[in-house]
Structure 1
Amino acid sequence: MTAVVTGLGVAAPTGLDVTEYWSATLEGRSGIGRVTRFDPQSYPAQLAGEISGFVAADHLPGRLLPQTDRMTQLALVTADRAFVDAEVVPAELPDYAAGVITASSSGGFEFGQNELRALWSKGSEYVSAYQSFAWFYAVNSGQISIRNGLRGPSSVVVSDQAGGLDAVAQARRQIRKGTPIILTGAIDASICPWGWVAQWAGGGLSTVKDPSRAYLPFDEDASGYVPGEGGALLVLESLAHAKQRGARVYGEIAGHASTVDPRPGTGEPGLRRAIEIALADAGIAPADVDVVFADAAGTAEADRIEADALAAVFGPRAVPVTAPKTTTGRLYSGGAPLDLATAFLAIRDQIIPPTIGTTLSDDYSIDLVTDSRSALLHNALVIARGAGGFNSVMVVRGPSRELN
């Protein structure tokens, strides 16, 4: 059964709706700057892709605000916008006709930090009862399902930055099992001291203070990545259901694969294999891929592994490669779903968005797109990798006569 995307919701440092985000992405406008949500002076890494201008009280009922982390507030509003874009009214759906499957890499860290501060400074009687779930990895799935009455299959996937694609793949499985609609993707937000320490401990954060030079994947001066907040949620639907209600279709989730790298020093990284399996699942050859949205880790070793895998599968410089996340930072589990949304927009408008800031190193045999490039686009490949060796690869296909 074919799974198609009929709605997009975006929350990014460069835009809180699809139109704003897409315009900024094509123009290469950066949302990376010095952290403002806390004073980062005492930390080695001080830059982030922050979402500005978001006031949860403008979008959500007051009763939800003390119950939810910023991450969940962003997710609830993004879910609302995805349903509006798909012209789906959840309250009008039959029971069990829709579910929600999201990913998370950290949960509601800011909420948890605030409650721990209350515990330490005031005592246990000042800790909110909502702490029991507001921090949890599955809270976005739970709160979205409650708010929208989505009683179908629901779950959360945790595989670090690869999780967003794995969640969409799980949603596709549920569509194939007969659920008509699944809301899927991920929103992450962990720009608070507690979350910052955890991210720093994971390694890989850039300590460069200049926002234009801090996150430079595939560049000789690459020194790590800049974290960010946000992501995307997609309305995934069976093709039959989408046709029945006359829905506009962005395209199809055509193929997916996940692998895990072996223990260091014991074998080859699993990224190339994941790409090959995803292509086979989509029923296409490497020559059929028109653009690759790279994981773009921003460290020499990780970038080399990715570039080598792409050259091995597609041939040196044989397919355009882009990393628009250089405008937002890496959004953890939210980054890959945002790349999926970007891929569908790129296919819609037949243009590849740029990788900003980077000057491609001669060490990498890839065709890196550094300025927006018009192109004939039908199939796109999206790559996401997470700490611990997670690899996830997804092939998306634009709308065809069959899909409309």
Structure 2
Amino acid sequence: MSVITGLGVIAPNGLGVKEFWAATLSGRSGIAELDRFDTSGYPARLAGLVRELDSAEYLPGRLLPQTDVSTRLALVAAQWALEDAEVDPAELADYDMGVVTANASGGFEFTHREFNKLWAHGPEHVSVYESFAWFYAVNTGQISIRHGMRGPSSALVAEQAGGLDALGHAARTIRGGVPLVVGGGVDSAFDPWGWLSHLAGGRVSVDLDPATAYRPFDARAAGYIPGEGGAMCIVESAESARARGVRGYGEIAGYAATFDPHPDTGAPPGLRRAAGLALADAGIEPGDVDVVFADAAGVPELDGAEALALRELFGVRGVPVTAPKALTGRLLSGGAVLDVVAALMSIQENVIPPTFGTATVPGDYGIDLVTGEPRPVPVRTALVLARGRWGFNAATVIQAL
């Protein structure tokens, strides 16, 4: 059994589990105008931004010039997760601790700053830390170095699905005999180059009203809002958790990943199959699921495809569905891990958070989308779904202990 015993949350609408969960239930949004550079000439100007975190308060000064903003977020989130789990890495064997992180954009801002130095002043002005600060695996490396974690570790790149892949791989690492793994995902790409990269995909909402710009599964849905941040989790074996005297938030009971077939084949997307495989991995049936935390792309075509997958698996309005990411935007590898945190809190408090902003769900979607107010219901099993660009699908089953 893989138990989640610690959570470190850095979300646009709240730092730490308590603030994030309160915002998720009350509808406090972290979506606002992107103000890190002049966006007046861009068609879209809203983002889910982490505004209140000063990394220098939590990290050694020597790390700041070495790291991109996304790595700083990962380091702080990992530290908070360890503290939440009451883990002191110095008290554990170094090879009994691993790190698995997901990252979709690498050290975007750091790299572009160094590129500008290269072009404007020459190679002798480029930071030596550019040799690794840009890399997708740097978050795993920096967390493992800082906390002396030498056990099996890895880094995964699967855009929005990556966070679930990281937690799934962390659970598999636990099954392989490693007692404790730091797992999760964060991303940030909000310098001018990063913003253009977001917009180039053609799915970002150009609505300038934060209350309506991102409304997944709505009849008027017209795109999503990009965001930054994410979460780190402490994943432990049940034996390790018991030995330390901690109970934990819940269990990673099942996980699966699939890849969409090429569009020319005419075969269906792989999301439904990923969900079914995750349920099978957990040894449960669709009727055992109390809530689905949806990928919720906010794009009509993609929302319709996800709704179809849910109807096929659960039947028409067969399970409550929610998308709290409407308050944060889509955080690339960090988004689905925040959904896992919300699922764990739903299990703890027996309440399903609503999808704020969504008002009118098309009838042919056939889903029971929770909107308006939190829905108090018993929650023991949650299914979390995620899709990444270029065909990535992932599904994770979270259960009460």
- TM-score bin, normalised by smaller chain: over 0.9
| Unaligned 5+ runs, structure 2 | none
Alignment of 1:6-45 (within 5 A): 6-45=5-44
Alignment of 1:201-220 (within 5 A): 201-220=200-219
| Equivalent position of 1:349 in the other structure | 349
**CA separation in 1, counterparts of 2:82 and 2:208?**
39
| Equivalent position of 2:270 in the other structure | 270
**CA separation in 2, counterparts of 1:15 and 1:248?**
25
1:135 is the counterpart of 2:134? yes
Cα deviations across residues 42-82 of structure 1 (Å, max 9, x unaligned)? 22221100001111111111111100011111111111100
Alignment of 1:123-202 (within 5 A): 123-202=122-201
> Which piece of structure 1 moves more, 291-300 or 238-247?
238-247
**CA separation in 2, counterparts of 1:37 and 1:190?**
11
Question: Which letter does structure 2 place at the counterpart of 1:49?
Answer: G
| Equivalent position of 2:339 in the other structure | 339
> Which piece of structure 1 moves more, 49-58 or 323-332?
49-58
Contact (CA 8 Å) 1:8, 1:235: kept in 2 or not? Answer: yes
**CA separation in 1, counterparts of 2:42 and 2:90?**
46
**CA separation in 1, counterparts of 2:299 and 2:37?**
26
Cα deviations across residues 220-252 of structure 1 (Å, max 9, x unaligned)? 111110000000100000011111111121111
| Equivalent position of 1:63 in the other structure | 62
Cα deviations across residues 331-374 of structure 1 (Å, max 9, x unaligned)? 00000111111100110011111100002222311000112110
Contact (CA 8 Å) 1:86, 1:248: kept in 2 or not? Answer: no
Equivalent pairs: percent with the same residue? 58
| Equivalent position of 1:290 in the other structure | 290
Q: After TM superposition, what 4+ stretches of structure 1 lie above 2 angstroms from structure 2? A: none
Cα deviations across residues 177-227 of structure 1 (Å, max 9, x unaligned)? 100000001011111111111122223111111111110111111111000
How far off its partner does 1:9 sit?
0.5
**CA separation in 2, counterparts of 1:37 and 1:255?**
40
Cα deviations across residues 113-159 of structure 1 (Å, max 9, x unaligned)? 11111112222111101011111100100000011101111110011
| Equivalent position of 2:375 in the other structure | 373
**CA separation in 2, counterparts of 1:221 and 1:367?**
17
**CA separation in 2, counterparts of 1:117 and 1:90?**
39
| Equivalent position of 1:300 in the other structure | 300
Question: Which letter does structure 1 place at the counterpart of 2:270?
Answer: G
| Equivalent position of 1:388 in the other structure | 390
**CA separation in 1, counterparts of 2:205 and 2:310?**
24
**CA separation in 2, counterparts of 1:4 and 1:17?**
19
- TM-score with structure 1 setting the length: 0.97
| Equivalent position of 2:399 in the other structure | 397
How far off its partner does 1:95 sit?
2.3
| Equivalent position of 1:364 in the other structure | 365
The two structures, once aligned, show a CA RMSD in angstroms of: 0.9
**CA separation in 2, counterparts of 1:48 and 1:74?**
17
Number of paired residues?
398
SS in 2 for 1:388: helix
**CA separation in 2, counterparts of 1:132 and 1:16?**
30
| Equivalent position of 1:330 in the other structure | 330
How far off its partner does 1:40 sit?
1.4
Question: Which letter does structure 1 place at the counterpart of 2:185?
Answer: A
**CA separation in 2, counterparts of 1:393 and 1:297?**
15
| Equivalent position of 1:115 in the other structure | 114
SS in 1 for 2:347: helix
> Which piece of structure 1 moves more, 195-204 or 129-138?
195-204
1:4 is the counterpart of 2:6? no
**CA separation in 2, counterparts of 1:71 and 1:340?**
20
Question: Which letter does structure 2 place at the counterpart of 1:365?
Answer: G
**CA separation in 1, counterparts of 2:32 and 2:144?**
34
Question: Which letter does structure 1 place at the counterpart of 2:192?
Answer: P
| Unaligned 5+ runs, structure 1 | 400-404
Question: Which letter does structure 2 place at the counterpart of 1:269?
Answer: P
**CA separation in 2, counterparts of 1:243 and 1:336?**
27
> Which piece of structure 1 moves more, 36-45 or 46-55?
36-45
SS in 2 for 1:241: helix
